[in-house]
Amino acid sequence: MPKVFIIIINFNGWSDTKECLESLGQVDYDNFEVILLDNASKGDYRLPTTDYRFKIQTIYNKENLGFAGANNQGIKLALENKADYVLLLNNDTTVDSDFLSKLVEEAENDESAGIVGPLISFYDDRNKIWSAGGKITNHSTRGELIAYQEIDEGEYQVAEQVDYISGTCLLIKVEVIKKIGLISEDYFLYYEDTDWCVRADKAGWRCLLVPQSKIYHKASKSTQEFSYPYIYYHSRNGLMFSERFGNKFVVLLLSVWIFLKQILKLAVGYKRNWARPVLRGVWDFWVGKKGKIEGYN
């Protein structure tokens, strides 16, 4: 069995993290360890890690390093410990017992597969799909989840190539990491997984959805969906990603159009709470600001 290191980030969500770890305790794949990182959660506490059958290494950060920064910490530790695979796993997920064995089996049997991921359903409605992989649309200006909120009618049965795998659950071969490098910390949160997958594709590896592997996602627990940071990071990072991999002139025109639309919304009083973080995101894209947004944890 190849050695897998599972990286989980906790940010003010110990109850979710605990449930995720408990589900990993039922996994039928034995050769894995967990690297658990706390991203400067509020309160003075330590994560109890003594009641699990698998080994857990913990890291406590003094500041929030974001999805990219904290995962890179874990990846470096996994590489030092001679991992064969690294699995990124959101703390607000639970997993089927065979999810990991199915992912490793597909990756081992397909030399061209550099990154693989499961079929992800909603935690509260397991018949509804959250992601069947991702696709890049509109001249490489947008990452979009495949089959988002569709009812699972069994149409996903065999492994198939997709543009990207969501960082919610992403298994990557160590040889790919050594070739393309770590996750870009320019994004801080959102689109870094898409960036990583595109870089793997350009280096000659495929990204595959493995629908026999299944997990369940509570969705956007760390930032709260449609909060100011959520909207800001999606706005800025989508443009940043597009500039790197798409048509720069198209991206410039698109950013101007987005900016002007938000000005109009503010002028007429429509969706002002949405327009403000979008404006800031576009502006920060123009001035080249990367990483963490100021004023938010």
Q: CB of 99 within 8 A of CB of 215?
A: yes
Closest CA to 38 of 222, 227, 167: 222
Q: CB of 83 within 8 A of CB of 3?
A: yes
Q: CB of 221 within 8 A of CB of 16?
A: yes
Q: If one looks up domain 4-92+100-217 in CATH, what number appears?
A: 3.90.550.60
Q: Taking residues 110-124, report their average pLDDT.
A: 97
pLDDT in tens, 55-84: 999 999 999 999 999 999 999 999 999 999
- What residues pair up with 137 in beta bridges, in sequence order? 142
pLDDT in tens, 27-40: 999 999 999 999 98
Please report, for residues 5, 261, 287, 295, the alpha-carbon distance to residue 9 in angstroms, rounded to integers and kept in the order given. Answer: 13, 36, 30, 21
Half-sphere exposure of 175 (CA within 13 A, CB side): 10
Q: What is the per-residue pLDDT for 137? A: 80
pLDDT in tens, 185-243: 999 989 999 999 999 999 999 999 999 999 999 975 544 567 899 999 999 999 999 99
Query: What tokens does 267 get?
Result: 């002028």
Query: What tokens does 270 get?
Result: 């429509």
3-state helix vs strand vs coil in the chain, percent to 5: 35, 25, 40
Q: What is the per-residue pLDDT for 143? A: 83
Other C-beta atoms closer than 10 Å to the C-beta of 94 total 18
pLDDT in tens, 157-201: 999 999 999 999 999 999 999 999 999 999 998 999 999 999 999
Name every residue whose Cβ is closer than 8 Å to that of residue 189 and which is 6 or more positions away in sequence: 66, 67, 68, 223, 229, 233, 237
Whether the per-residue pLDDT at 91 is higher than 90: the answer is: yes
Sequence-separated contacts (24+) of 156-160 with Cβ below 8 Å: 156/119, 156/132, 156/209, 156/211, 157/211, 158/211, 159/106, 159/110, 159/113, 159/116, 159/208, 159/209, 159/210, 159/211, 159/212, 160/133, 160/208, 160/209
Q: CB of 296 within 8 A of CB of 191?
A: no
Percent residues over pLDDT 90 in the chain: 80
